[in-house]
Amino acid sequence: MKGYLLLETGEWFEGKWFGAEVESIGEVVFQTGMTGYQEVLTDPSYAGQIVNFTYPLIGNYGINGVDDQSIRPHVLGVIVAELCSEPSHSQYRLTFEQVLEKYQIPGLAGIDTRELTKIIRKHGTVKGVISKTLDHPIRSMDSSSKPSLVNPMNRENVIADMTLVETVSTANPIYYPGDGPHVVVMDYGYKYSIIDALRSLGCAVTVVPFDFTAEQVFKLNPDGILFSNGPGDPKDLIHLSHQVKMMASAYPSLGICLGHQVLGLAFGADTEKLLFGHRGVNHPVLNIETNQVWITSQNHGYIVKEESLKGTDFQVTHINVNDRSVEGMKHLYLPIQSVQFHPEAHPGPVEAFEIFVDFVEQCGMSRNSRTSCSSKGVKQYAQTS
């Protein structure tokens, strides 16, 4: 069956429909990884988005039972050049298409994904519709007989009256046992691999809803707090800034991706949307302190503005080699650090795993001696800043 991807810019593509026979509207983004399509499907950070895979063959090793990053896929749709319907891997359980059918996600194959990527790079991230017909009710035909949207789709969240984070965050705390430091993970859309990384270093982990208050977190008696990745605009969570600042000022803290942006906002910095974002597994990041370049896994559309960090007591620790955007920062006085990339990867390289090692060491110090981070000074800072 034929299907169409209609973009708000007026361009459209025809392809072969696969997956669920439902139409879908979302933000169209491109992902450049050569592997890891299963992790992409199940990464909550892709909620609200239609993912265009630039690698030409998708589905060739199937879907296994170990690499999911959450309980279910979160993408709204997928675009591929070529779909493999007969995977070859000893661990595969389902085909790529079977997963899409199971979770009611549409896809289009036979699309020129490189050309689509060029359009996104030219215009910026755009909204699009996966439709069974060119006669879609939300668009009309222009003079060149190509579809254009009657009313450009709202560039805010796709799900009305809810932030995307609300749709993916846990409703109740989840506890993972461990003998080491106790880390509370603020769930903005966390990936399972983040929990795996912490537990591999011996941590006990409690995942809590995104809107847990500082008081609720303090009652859990953590040794550190991790602010997770997640979907959407970080400013959708700006109303939580006071609570975030209280938590981060009281315990060693690590922010990843959206968590990095949320920490920046909480301490007075600003964020902005990139033209087309960073989504892939080969993004070079420079560690300013060591002059080393890491190849990193990334998935984000927003960044912390470097100039807005002035006066926040944060300094930049990592920058993107390609566009010089902020990729990491740390507080001058408190044990707070954050990174825009994914040190846990999955998919991607693991060069940046030491970020977790440093964080867990700080949590261990906090656990062994609450005064190691000068608790009195921390409390004073939290009250006066």
Topology, domain 2-149: Glucose Oxidase; domain 1 (3.50.30)
Domains of the chain, residue spans: 2-149, 164-384
Tracing tokens 């190509």 back to the chain, one arrives at 146
Given 257, 278, 331, 346, the catalytic residue: 257
Q: Is the dihedral of CA 235, 239, 243, 249 positive or negative?
A: positive
Read off the pTM: 0.89
- Is 84 assigned a catalytic role? no
Which pLDDT value is given to residue 366? 83
- Is 101 assigned a catalytic role? no
What is the assigned CATH class of domain 164-384?
A: alpha beta
Which pLDDT value is given to residue 89? 94
Which of the residues in the chain have pLDDT under 50? 138, 141-160, 371-385
Which pLDDT value is given to residue 148? 45
Given 283, 342, 346, 363, the catalytic residue: 342
Q: In whole angstroms, give the CA distance from residue 211 to residue 232.
A: 15
What does the pLDDT look like over 157-186, one tens digit per residue? 344 456 899 999 999 999 999 999 999 999
Q: In whole angstroms, give the CA distance from residue 382 to residue 285.
A: 31
CA distances from 115 to 11, 53, 81, 118, 125 (A): 11, 12, 11, 5, 14
- Is 203 assigned a catalytic role? no
Given 136, 166, 344, 346, the catalytic residue: 344
What does the pLDDT look like over 214-261, one tens digit per residue? 999 999 999 999 999 999 999 999 999 999 999 999 999 999 999 999
